[in-house]
C-alpha cells in the first residue's frame, strides 16, 4: 500500500504537469483565451433569406437555440469568389483566390491548419477536415514552397477520398462524432453539402429540407462537444457558409450561385465558446477572411498571409 500510493500521486502530478505544459506553456502557441479547441462547420450554399432572413426562422429552429449561447453576425459576407472551393479557401487561408472549383488546384497560401501545426508542433491528426465534397481535399495543402506538403491536416472526405465523389451529410456527421471521440482534434473543419446540391438539382423542397437537416446536425455537434470532458468549456464553435445563392429576381434564382448579387454574398456567421458573449446580435460587417485571423488570435498563432482582420466582438480584448 505504501508503495502504491506515492506512485499514484506521482502519476497524477506527472499527468497534471503534462496537461499544463500542453495547454499553457507550449512555446509555439501564445493565448490567454479559454478556448483551446476550434470547430468550424460550413453549410454549403444556403441563402441568408432562407435561413436568418426568414423572420420566422422556419428551417433553422436549432440555430435559434444555438445563438442563445453565442453571437449571431447579421452582416457577414463572402466578399470574394462565390463558389465552394474559393469560399472555403477564404475561410481557411484568409485570402481571396479564384482557385479551380473542381478540386484541381491548391490554395497558394497556408491555412489555419498549417500555421497551427507549425506553431504547436502537434501531430497532424490534431487538425481534421471532414467534408461531404471530396474536392475540399485541397484545403489541407497549399502551393508556396515553405508549406507545400508540410503541416497537412488529416482529411476524411467524400465517398472514399478525393476523386471518389460526394457523400451524404449523414455520413459526414457520423464520421465527425467518431473522429471527435477517437482523436480529439484541436482544429476541425466540418462541411455539409446538402443545400447546395439540392439547389443545383432545382429541388426547392429538397433544398429547404437539407437546410433543416443540417440545422439539426449543428445543434447535435455542439451538444456532443459540450458533453465531452475534453471539449466542454474549452471549444470555440463557428457556423458559416462558403457562399449563398442568387436572389430570386437574379439569373436562375436559388438554383445557382457564383456572382456578386446580394444573395450569393450574404451568408451567416454564428460563434459560440467560453470567451464569447451569449445572446448577442452583431451587425458590424465582417467577411470570411476574418475567421482565419480570429482563430489565430484565439489559439495564439500567426496567419501572416491572411488578409482578414480579427473580429472585435470575439477576440478584441
Ligand atoms: Zn454550388
Ligand atoms: Zn448571385
% of the chain exceeding 90 in pLDDT: 89
Rounded distance between C-alpha atoms, residue 54 and residue 59, angstroms: 9
The average confidence (pLDDT) of the chain is: 93
Would you place residue 20 in the very low, low, confident or very high pLDDT band (cuts 50, 70, 90)? very low
Reduced to 3 states (helix: H, G, I; strand: E, B; else coil), residue 178 is helix
Q: How far is the CA of 187 from the centre of ligand 1 (A)?
A: 25
pLDDT of residue 174: 98
Would you place residue 160 in the very low, low, confident or very high pLDDT band (cuts 50, 70, 90)? confident
Rounded distance between C-alpha atoms, residue 17 and residue 142, angstroms: 36
The answer to whether the Cα torsion of 221, 227, 228, 233 is positive or negative is positive
Q: What is the dihedral of CA 102, 107, 112, 113, to 10 degrees?
A: 70
Q: How far is the CA of 200 from the centre of ligand 1 (A)?
A: 6
CB-based contact 225:231 (threshold 8 Å): yes
What protein residues have CB closer than 5 angstroms to ion ligand 1? 196
pLDDT of residue 23: 53
Summarize pLDDT for 86-116 with one digit per residue, the tens.
999 999 999 999 999 999 999 999 999 999 9
Can you read off the three cell numbers belonging to residue 148? 507545400
Q: How far is the CA of 243 from the centre of ligand 2 (A)?
A: 9
- Residue 198 CA, chain-centre distance (Å), reads 21
Ligand nearest to the CA of 242: 1
Would you place residue 19 in the very low, low, confident or very high pLDDT band (cuts 50, 70, 90)? very low
Question: Across residues 159-177, what is the average pLDDT?
Answer: 93
Q: How far is the CA of 74 from the centre of ligand 2 (A)?
A: 18
CA distances in angstroms from 10 to 6, 20, 25, listed in the order given: 6, 15, 21
CB-based contact 75:233 (threshold 8 Å): no
Ligand nearest to the CA of 133: 1
Would you place residue 15 in the very low, low, confident or very high pLDDT band (cuts 50, 70, 90)? very low
Rounded distance between C-alpha atoms, residue 85 and residue 107, angstroms: 9
Summarize pLDDT for 188-208 with one digit per residue, the tens.
999 999 999 999 999 999 999
Q: How far is the CA of 49 from the centre of ligand 2 (A)?
A: 13
Q: How far is the CA of 136 from the centre of ligand 2 (A)?
A: 22
Closest by CA to 299, choosing from 28, 29, 14, is 29
pTM here?
A: 0.92
Q: How far is the CA of 300 from the centre of ligand 1 (A)?
A: 34
Ligand nearest to the CA of 199: 1
Q: How far is the CA of 40 from the centre of ligand 1 (A)?
A: 19
Q: How far is the CA of 52 from the centre of ligand 1 (A)?
A: 20
Can you read off the three cell numbers belonging to residue 98? 479564384
Amino acid at each position: 500500500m505504501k508503495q502504491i500510493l506515492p506512485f499514484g500521486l506521482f502519476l497524477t502530478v506527472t499527468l497534471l504537469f503534462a496537461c499544463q505544459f500542453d495547454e499553457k506553456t507550449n512555446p509555439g502557441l501564445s493565448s490567454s483565451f479559454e478556448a483551446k479547441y476550434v470547430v468550424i462547420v460550413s453549410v454549403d450554399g444556403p441563402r441568408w433569406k432562407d435561413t436568418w432572413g426568414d423572420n420566422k426562422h422556419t428551417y433553422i429552429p436549432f440555430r435559434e437555440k444555438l445563438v442563445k449561447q453565442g453571437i449571431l453576425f447579421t452582416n457577414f459576407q463572402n466578399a470574394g469568389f462565390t463558389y465552394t472551393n474559393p469560399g472555403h479557401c477564404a475561410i481557411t487561408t484568409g485570402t481571396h483566390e479564384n482557385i479551380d472549383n473542381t478540386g484541381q488546384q491548391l490554395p497558394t497560401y497556408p491555412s489555419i491548419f498549417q500555421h497551427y501545426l507549425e506553431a504547436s508542433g502537434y501531430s497532424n491528426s490534431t487538425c481534421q477536415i471532414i467534408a461531404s465534397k471530396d474536392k475540399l481535399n485541397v484545403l489541407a495543402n497549399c502551393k508556396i514552397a515553405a508549406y507545400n506538403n508540410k503541416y497537412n491536416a488529416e482529411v476524411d472526405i467524400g465517398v472514399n477520398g478525393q476523386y471518389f465523389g460526394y457523400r451524404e451529410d449523414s455520413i459526414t456527421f457520423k464520421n465527425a462524432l467518431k473522429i471527435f471521440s477517437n482523436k480529439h482534434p484541436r482544429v476541425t473543419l466540418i462541411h455539409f453539402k446538402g443545400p447546395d446540391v439540392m439547389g443545383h438539382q432545382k429541388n426547392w423542397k429538397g433544398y429547404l429540407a437539407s437546410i433543416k437537416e443540417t440545422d439539426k446536425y449543428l445543434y447535435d455537434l455542439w451538444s456532443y462537444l459540450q458533453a465531452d470532458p475534453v471539449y466542454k468549456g474549452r471549444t470555440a464553435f463557428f457556423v458559416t457558409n462558403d457562399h449563398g445563392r442568387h436572389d430570386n429576381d437574379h439569373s436562375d434564382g436559388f438554383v445557382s450561385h457564383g456572382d456578386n448579387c446580394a444573395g450569393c454574398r450574404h451568408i451567416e456567421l454564428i460563434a459560440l465558446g467560453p470567451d464569447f458573449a451569449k445572446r448577442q446580435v452583431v451587425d458590424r460587417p465582417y467577411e470570411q477572411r476574418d475567421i482565419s485571423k480570429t482563430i489565430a488570435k484565439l489559439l495564439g498563432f500567426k496567419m501572416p498571409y491572411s488578409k482578414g482582420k480579427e473580429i472585435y466582438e470575439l477576440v478584441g480584448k
